[in-house]
Structure 1
Amino acid sequence: MANGQQKAKQNLDAFQSWVATQQDEDFKQIIFRGQLSRSEVAKATGCGKSALNQNPELRQSLKQLEDDLRDRGVLPPLTHIAKKEIDKPKQYDNTANRKAVDSKRLSLLEAENIELKAKVKELEGQLQRFGELSETLSEMGFMPR
């Protein structure tokens, strides 16, 4: 069984071998939000997504690859804000899960509201029609029981 350092070296070697076999068109296929999709890179190299973040040499190689791809025009250039934020850790949003739940519930409630409005409109039409029928029968002397 390989220890952590050996596994890190194996992952780096696998990454470098994978990069050597790829063309610009291949990289274009896995672009996600202005960078290479980490899950696709992990699948292609046979290492975990966590290795791409936790292995410093692998992380640096991936960053270098993306910089080279940006220079060649395969990846879009980084914005001014992205350049400033690149080394800063992302701030944890403890309300993100709640927002997602609320958003889903809101969309369900809006759909239900639309359905109920349509049903109310249909029932109002029926009520108006039967109201006129009842009035006509009343005028004719036939009172419904």
Structure 2
Amino acid sequence: MASGQQKAQQNLDAFQSWVATQQDDDFKQIVFRGQLNRIEVAKAVGCGKSALNQNPDIRKDLKKLEDNLRDRGVLPPLTDTAKKDADKPKQYDNTANRKALNSTRSSSLEAENIELKSKIKELEGKLKRFGELSETLSEMGFMPR
């Protein structure tokens, strides 16, 4: 079995071979949010997506490739914000999952609330109609037992 360093080198070699065989049109097909789709690149190279992020040599080569593609107009240029935040690590939002759950719960409660309001109006209409019927029957002297 290959050691971690050997596997990293194999992945780097596979990545470099893949890049050498691609044309600009091939890269255009896997653009996602202004960069190459990491999942598609990993599939094409035959490695895990984590190798693209964790292997410093692949990460460096991928950045060079994307910069080169931007210069040639294959990828859109980076925005000023993206350039400024490129070297900064992304801040982890530990409340994102809770926010998503709350949003889902809120929308389901709103739908249930609308449904119940509709049912209340329907029942109030029936109550009004049967209240009038009961009043008419009592005026006529026919009280139900």
What TM-score, normalized by structure 1, do the two folds share? 0.87
Query: SS where residue 47 of structure 1 aligns?
Result: coil
Aligned match of 2:90? 90
Matched positions, count = 145
Shift in Å, 1:59: 0.3
Aligned match of 1:22? 22
The alignment's C-alpha RMSD in Å is 1.8
C-alpha distance in 1 between matches for 2:76 and 2:133: 69
Query: Percent same amino acid at aligned positions?
Result: 82
Aligned match of 1:76? 76
C-alpha distance in 2 between matches for 1:54 and 1:139: 86
Gaps spanning 5+ residues in structure 2: where?
none
Shift in Å, 1:81: 0.8
C-alpha distance in 1 between matches for 2:15 and 2:141: 91
How has the CA–CA distance of structure 1 residues 144 and 11 changed in structure 2, closer, same or farther, with 3 Å as cutoff?
Answer: same
Aligned match of 2:62? 62
Deviations 1:45-64 (A, max 9, x none): 11111111111110011111
Aligned match of 1:34? 34
How has the CA–CA distance of structure 1 residues 8 and 130 changed in structure 2, closer, same or farther, with 3 Å as cutoff?
Answer: same
Query: SS where residue 87 of structure 2 aligns?
Result: coil
What TM-score, normalized by structure 2, do the two folds share? 0.87
Shift in Å, 1:80: 0.5
Larger deviation: 26-35 or 109-118?
Answer: 26-35
C-alpha distance in 2 between matches for 1:138 and 1:103: 52
Aligned match of 1:120? 120
